Structure 1
Amino acid sequence: MPKSKLKFCSGFLLFCLCVTANAWATEKMPPVEVRAKMSTVEALSSPVSSVIKPDDQIPAGQINDLTDLLSLTNSIYIQDSTYGRQLFLRGLGDQDMRVLIDGMPLGQMGKYYARSLVWEAIPLENIERIEVIRGAGSVEYGNTLVGTINIITRQGQKETESKVSLNYGTFNDFKAKALNSGSVGKVNWAVSAATRTRDEYLKNNDVEKMSASGSVGVDLGSAGHLQITGFALKREEGLALDDRINWSVWSDARDYIEGSKVKQDTNTILAAYTSDWFDLGISYMQHKRDDDYRQETWQVGDTYDYTLDFKAPAVKAKLHHKFGAHSLKLGGEYSKSDGDADWTYYGQESGAIEFDQDLAGAFVEDSWQILPKLNLTFGLRYDYFKNKVQSVNENPETQAELDDDQISPRGSLTYDLPSGFQAFAFAGQVYKAPAMADMYRWSGSHTLKSFAGRAVLRAYYGLKQPAGAPAFLIPPQYIEGWKSLIGQMKPVKGWDYELGVRQSGENHAFQVNLFYQDLKDYITIYPVSYPPTYNVDKVRIWGVELSGVYTFNQFLEVETNYTFTKNKKEGDEIIEKLYATDELFNAPEHLLNLTLRSRPLEGLLLEWQSQFVSSRFAGGAPAVPPQVAAMNSKYEPMYDLDPYWLHNVRGSYTMSFPKTDVTFSLAVENLFNEECYVRLDYPLPGTLVYGGVSFTF
């Protein structure tokens, strides 16, 4: 770190620690408990977990979507691209984990247009907390390799509360939101609305966003509780017009002009009944996308329009009860995913793809308190899936179908040690169905329909032909060799092992966790989802996760988490030949989050937040094999993305008036204007400044 940066950091800390005694706050920070950092629901059966609360963040406007919150916890790394944000946990992408809302499965197509989930589609105003369960977790969670993210929505509390906030930042980034929640008698409610606009920082990539959410619940007394939640989002973002963007390599997007936009419309509704014995949930999500392309002149075959309509209903039921030293649960879930994608080509016949997936699971688990200090949790889970992907009005060979099932045992032990220490161990089998997008990409490569698949084939065999030239130019022996190389699509199976210790006290908490995952037939995907997609023989992932928080006094609290991860692939002949590596894409060895927090004056909160991400294998930017990028000098391949260390300074000051609190906040993100590739295909926008005011009454 340059001396000027070190001096700045030191000065900030001295300011926090050296405020005069007569101005000190009269109340200390609340004591820290390890349970507050965990999922209280699965504290025993999922010992490797953490909780993030949006309301704990300084409200300056620097948090734009869920990924900004999730990046603060252990082992999570965010990779951005022109298609949207992706989340990586322990080196595996968000399509390898399960995302839930109030315990209900959220529809995930898989990595399609470079993203597995539209993270922006879930309004932050509607979130009470986010539970992140790393590893396999309880048998209640299925169809995941590396973890489960459970988003808990907001419910009205006893006292009625309203909140209005306004934020403004760099690039005319304006945000406004309003929230009202409360309860009357046995009825609770929470409603919110928000809007955001931001100018471009690359040509044409401006943003407009509106969201609304609502929740109403009824306390049925001894009969249980009923809660209905819904939220909606509309979002428009301009397609970045820059030579570095990945789609300029593969498509006619290089000719798009200003006004080209991606429009998204997402609606979700959930109904949940809970009681002492029985829980029942029903959910429905619909996501629509419309790419509105514009060009000065159109050529025959240019992509003129693209639309996606994705629907995902789900139902889940669970019986649960405690009998003496045993806590039992038995349940099942079913989710249906149905997607229709349509392409309109200028002067040519349109193309369409139909995606269809059925996921079903059943589980039984017993949490047995064997001794006052010893708990054993053991369960079995059954998973079944059926996938079907078909290109409409095309060769029947483009249709792909697959189904499979598995029974997975999982178990954990926790033991309470003296002085507040607790040791834990976990072992369990994992199982993951290929996503619908996996099936589509694999089929496109297997049938040589995919432009990118043909390009990689030619690079692999060293054929001196144009990258995307028609398949009939490829000699038959290479076609047969290619089909044998990528094989048939399979589900991923494996084991997850966790071992660790944690301890908590009045002013501190810490956790150390060792993990090892052994995955068979892992589905590998290129950085922004381009083909080929195929199973590799084995992936092994191992490492250590450290996390802790220590409150010295009201002037200084330190919170940190660090993850060291190693991985190794076996049997990936394509990547080993093209890149001479056996690493996973976008899997940094080192991740560090460090937050220094101080309350030097009553109502004043100051934070210094730093994030370090080590180098990671990118596989060539702009997201193409280096042999293809080398054909054009402006597409210089980047085999690895450099490490970066970002520093953010944030502060808020709250003034209390009768019945109203007013909070002023300020945040400076990327304080030292670090030039780094958090985005795969172009760098960060530089230093960002946000400010805001909120009123709570």
Structure 2
Amino acid sequence: MVAAQAAASLDQVVVTGSRFSDDPRGLPFGVSVITAQDIRRSGAGTVNEAVMKLLGVPGRLDLYGGGEYALDLRGFGSTSDSNMVIVVDGLRLSEGDLGGTRLAGIPIDTVERIEVLRGSGAVLYGEGATGGVVIITTKAGRGAQRRNTAQVYAAAGSHATRELRAGATLVAGDFSVDVAGNRRLSDGHRDNGESATRGGSVAAQWATDGLRIVLRHGEDRLNAGLPGALSTAQYDSDPSQTEHPNDWVRIINRRNSLQADWRLGDWEFGFDAGQRAKQVRSLSTYFGSASSYDYDVAADQVGARARYSATLGGLRNSLAGGVDLSHWDRDVAGTYGSSARQTNRAVYLRDDLTLEGGTRLSAGLRREAIQKTHSGVTAALEDTLQAWELGLVQPLAAQWQAYGRLGRSFRLANADEFSYTSGTPLRPQMSRDVELGARWRAERDRADLRLYRNSLRDEIGYDPSANGGWGANVNYDPTRRQGIELEGSHALTPALELRATAAWRQATFVGGAYDGKDVPLVNAGSASLGAQWQALPGHRLGATLVYASSRHPDLANSCSMPSVTTLDLRWAWELPVVELSVAVGNATDRKFYTQAYACANGLPTSIYPEPGRSVTAAARLNF
């Protein structure tokens, strides 16, 4: 009975990585799916924490804190944010500067599914998708059958952490409303590391036969101290200390969107429109002098798409295409203020042909016109670039598939990069992308193996030795990313489930002054092992082991950050209405860091320490 239910559940899994609902077994690229149940059982409190714990994706502590991390899907180091696209309910959330995308502000209890697309998503998602795409679908965005529900979550733990989350879904016929709110306070694990976050969202949905319309509004705020970086000696003596007791940051994000989906016979139509605003206010101390960095971001986007699917003579063909339009503005205040603008206009087309034997062929093309301006740069950065992709999925047996794809992806320098160079305009970054993979699916088990290579020309990055030693953003000499990824889950018994990932990646220069050197801040190896054990009726024990290998913080590879293995534990008592849990993060109390920017005397410096052991007790009520 349990196996039959699990098999049925697997058959119902769909992803939206193709910008329409699709069976992941028919896609010519690797995709990992994290469900709401996975998130809940892991105890993850943010989207990036769920991706790091459950998929073993390396992350680096964000400088603004508040539970934010920068994810690195395929070894892009300090520019991982600029080489990965974040999509929430069909709308792109990625920024046009180096400020990063704030995922910790998305209420975790509103998330229905996280899809991580490995490798280039340039045809469907455009500029900056060489490393991959993270697609977040909220409960209001899934389009499934709705019912009245409500939940309240309260937690308290180490570092004076207190958290309260609540949400509800109200259904009346074809109409439903989702509301959610959250509040989290913490003193942090460092001096001046306190943070306060709060947020809320509301989504109204109307769904009838073939038509669904969703209106959303969301807002999140972060108030945090900025403890800053430590030298090696400071970190060794006391990683909790700070030299910046008065530095702080305030961030406000607001998002509004409209989504419409319509099915009409063999046709599917989609429309997405969104507007968001980001406000940052901060005070930081440099060389004994305090200075503010205040800016405002406003972004608008509209996308329309359509897909026609039909079967003729045993051949099933699916033709999809669309238009993406977006505009991004940033205004920096103060004496050295600036204005930056970015406009993207793109059209794309993708065709999938499935033969009688199950072989699936795909081809896609995207043409994107991009214009970027900055008040500190006379000439605009302007170009029209193309991405393309060819894919093949071949069934090998009832449970086995092999796939492969070849393509090209691109990005232009962002506002922070092209406004600070050595005087030479930055050329477009181009990548030739190759991926081969195999999938295996059984009743309650699955496994994926992926091999990939990205050959980059004119990669955009920062070189501290450029511009006469003052540093500048440059086009690197040729670089290459290649690696192997393994991911699987296995039900060892009906009560014990295992989930494991492992990755080996190589990010190296293949020419020029740094030939043979590793790209900074890239882990050569990473792995995770998770277990969920139904020890007794209603009692669930969870454990997650995460490993990240050493990495170099500098281009010359003159020092290495230590490797680290962390262990998280969680016990939950699951009753019909209430769940009580105790979670222990970094249970072995490892002293480590994921963020460092330089080397001094052969040792890493400019270090941002991670927290030691933490304990959290929580209660969740479900109605």
Q: Same fold (TM over 0.5)?
A: yes
Instruction: Give 1:599 deviation, angstroms.
Output: 0.6
One-letter amino acid of the structure 2 residue matched with residue 315 of structure 1: V
Which residue of the partner structure matches residue 483 of structure 2? 543
Q: How does 1:171-320 map to 2 (within 5 A)?
A: 171-222=159-210, 224-240=211-227, 243-244=230-231, 258-276=245-263, 277-292=268-283, 302-320=289-307
Q: What is the CA–CA distance in structure 1 between the aligned matches of 2:103 and 2:463, rounded to whole Å? A: 20
User: Once the 2 structures are TM-superposed, how far is the Cα of residue 50 of structure 1 from its aligned partner?
Assistant: 1.1
User: Which of residues 537, 560, 564 is equivalent to 1:640?
Assistant: 560
Q: Confirm or deny that 1:39 pairs with 2:15.
A: yes
- For the residue of structure 2 that corresponds to 1:585, the secondary structure is coil
The one-letter code matched in structure 2 to 1:57 is I
Deviates more, 1:314-323 or 1:402-411: 402-411
Which protein is bigger by CA-based radius of gyration? Answer: 1
Specify the alignment match of 1:610 in structure 2.
545
Give the one of 406, 414, 418 matched to 1:439.
Answer: 418
Displacement, 1:286?
0.5
Q: Which residue of 1 aligns with 2:389?
A: 410
Counterpart for residue 552 of structure 1? 492
SS in 1 for 2:104: helix
Matched, 1:562 2:543: no
1:99 aligns with 2:86: yes
Q: Secondary structure at the match of 1:139?
A: helix
- Distance in 2 (CA, whole Å) between partners of 1:293 and 1:425 is 48
Q: Which amino acid aligns with 1:122?
A: I
Higher relative contact order, structure no. (Cα contacts within 8 Å, ≥ 6 residues apart): 1
SS in structure 2 at match of 1:69:
helix
Q: Deviations 1:577-609 (Å, cap 9, x if unpaired)?
A: xxx962111111111010122112122211111
1:29 to partner: Cα distance: 10
| C-alpha contact 1:525 1:531 (8 A) present in aligned 2 | yes
The answer (yes or no) to whether the contact 1:572–1:582 under 8 Å persists in 2 is no
Residue from 606, 609, 617 that aligns with 1:683: 609
- Deviation for aligned residue 1:164: 0.4
Deviation at 1:31, TM superposition (A): 2.7
Q: Normalised by the size of structure 1, how large is the TM-score? A: 0.78
Shift of 1:219: 1.5
- Alpha carbons of 1:185 and 1:678: their partners in 2 closer, same or farther (altered >3 Å)? same
Matched positions, count: 578
Q: Determine the structure 2 residue equivalent to 1:149.
A: 134
> What is the identity percentage for the equivalent residue pairs of Structure 1 and Structure 2?
20
Is 1:332–2:299 an aligned residue pair? no
**Secondary structure of residue in 2 paired with 1:71:** helix
Show CA shifts across 1:61-90 (max 9, x none): x53422101213556210114344322111
> Structure 1 residues 499, 161: CA separation in 2 closer, same or farther (over 3 Å shift)?
same
Structure 1 residues 563-582: aligned runs within 5 Å = 563-571=503-511, 573=513, 576=514, 582=517
Rounded Cα–Cα distance in structure 1 between residues aligned with 2:94 and 2:499: 33
User: Given the alignment of the two structures, is residue 672 of structure 1 paired with residue 612 of structure 2, yes or no?
Assistant: no
Aligned pair in 2 of structure 1 residues 257, 562: CA closer, same or farther (>3 Å)? closer
After superposition, the C-alpha distances for 1:314-358 in whole angstroms (9 at most, x for unaligned) are 000001121221111111101111001123xxxxxx110111111
Deviation readout 1:510-562 (Å, 9 max, x if unpaired): 011111111111112369xx942111131111111101111021332111011
Alignment correspondent of 1:465: none
2:32 corresponds, among 44, 50, 59, to 50
Aligned to 2:113: 129
Give the aligned partner of residue 72 of structure 1.
53
How far 1:136 sits from its partner (Å)? 1.5
Are 1:493 and 2:430 counterparts?
yes
After superposing the two structures, state which structure 1 stretch, 103-112 or 38-47, moved more.
38-47
Seen in structure 2, the aligned counterparts of structure 1 residues 138 and 503 have a Cα distance that, compared at 3 Å, is farther
Once the two structures are superposed, the pairs formed by residues 512-527 of structure 1 within 5 Å of their partners are 512-525=449-462
Aligned: 1:511 with 2:496: no
Counterpart CA distance in 2 for 1:376 and 1:519 is 26
User: How far 1:495 moved relative to its partner?
Assistant: 1.4
Distance change (3 Å), C-alpha of 1:213 and 1:520: same
Note closer, same or farther for the CA distance 1:192–1:493 as it changes in structure 2 (3 Å cut). same
Q: Which amino acid aligns with 2:84?
A: M
Q: Distance in 2 between matches of 1:648 and 1:612?
A: 12
Q: For residue 441 of structure 1, give the secondary structure of its aligned residue in structure 2.
A: coil
**1:157 touches 1:182 (CA, 8 Å); kept in 2?**
no
Partner amino acid for 2:489?
V
Q: Distance in 1 between matches of 2:187 and 2:428?
A: 43
Compute the RMSD of aligned alpha carbons: 2.8
The letter of the residue matching 1:674 is R
Counterparts of 1:257 and 1:523, CA distance in 2 = 31
TM-superposed CA distance for 1:440, in Å, is: 2.4
Change in Cα spacing, 1:30 to 1:293, as seen in structure 2 (3 Å) is same
Which of 343, 346, 351 aligns to 1:358? It is: 343
Question: How far apart are the structure 1 equivalents of 2:594 and 2:230?
Answer: 17
Give distance in 2, aligned partners of 1:255 and 1:342: 27
One-letter amino acid matched to 1:31:
A
- CA displacement at 1:407 relative to structure 2: 2.3
- For residues 272 and 37 of structure 1, the distance between their equivalents in structure 2, rounded to whole angstroms, comes to 22
Q: 2-side partners of 1:414 and 1:184: how far apart?
A: 42
Q: Distance in 2 between matches of 1:193 and 1:240?
A: 28
> Which sections of structure 2, spanning at least 5 residues, go unmatched?
236-240, 465-469, 597-606
Gaps of 5+ in 1: 1-25, 249-253, 344-349, 392-397, 447-482, 627-637
1:399 is displaced (CA, Å) by 3.9
Instruction: Tell me the distance in 1 between the aligned counterparts of 2:309 and 2:398.
Output: 28
Q: 2:575 aligns with which of 655, 662, 685?
A: 655
Counterpart of 1:551, as a letter, is A
Conservation of the 8 A alpha-carbon contact between 2:387 and 2:409: yes
| Conservation of the 8 A alpha-carbon contact between 1:37 and 1:51 | no
Whole-angstrom distance in 1 between the partners of 2:510 and 2:616: 46
Distance 1:286 1:690 in 2: 33
Change (3 A) 1:83 1:234: closer
| Whole-angstrom distance in 2 between the partners of 1:412 and 1:96 | 21
Describe the SS at the equivalent of 2:520: coil
SS of residue matched to 1:165: strand
CA gap of 1:522–1:304, structure 2 versus 1, over 3 A, is closer
Tell me the CA shift for residue 490 of structure 1: 1.4
Higher strand share: 2
More off after superposition, 161-170 vs 120-129: 120-129
* TM score, norm. by length of structure 2: 0.87
Give the counterpart letter for 1:684 in structure 2: E
Q: 1:111 Cα shift?
A: 1.9
User: Hey, what's the Cα distance between the residues in 2 that align with 1:512 and 1:242?
Assistant: 38
CA contact (8 A) 2:527 2:546 kept: yes
- CA gap of 1:341–1:525, structure 2 versus 1, over 3 A, is same
Which residue type is aligned with residue 395 of structure 2?
A: D
Name the counterpart of 2:600. Answer: none
The 2-side partners of 1:545 and 1:75 are apart by: 10
CA shift at 1:293, angstroms? Answer: 5.5
Kept in 2: contact 1:338–1:357 (CA 8 A): yes
The answer to whether the Cα contact below 8 Å between 1:538 and 1:570 also exists between their aligned partners in 2 is: yes
CA distance 1:256–1:689, change in 2 (3 Å): closer
CA contact (8 A) 2:167 2:180 kept: yes
Deviation at 1:99, TM superposition (A): 1.2
Provide, for residues 398-454 of structure 1, a one-character-per-residue CA deviation record: whole Å limited to 9, x for no partner: 445211112222121111122411111111111112222221233xxx2xxxxxxxx
Alignment CA distance shift 1:59-1:210 (3 Å): farther
Taking structure 1 as reference, are residues 127 and 319 closer, same or farther at Cα in structure 2, changes over 3 Å only? same
> Which residue identity is paired with 2:350?
E
**Which amino acid is 1:650 matched to?**
R
Paired letter, 1:668: V
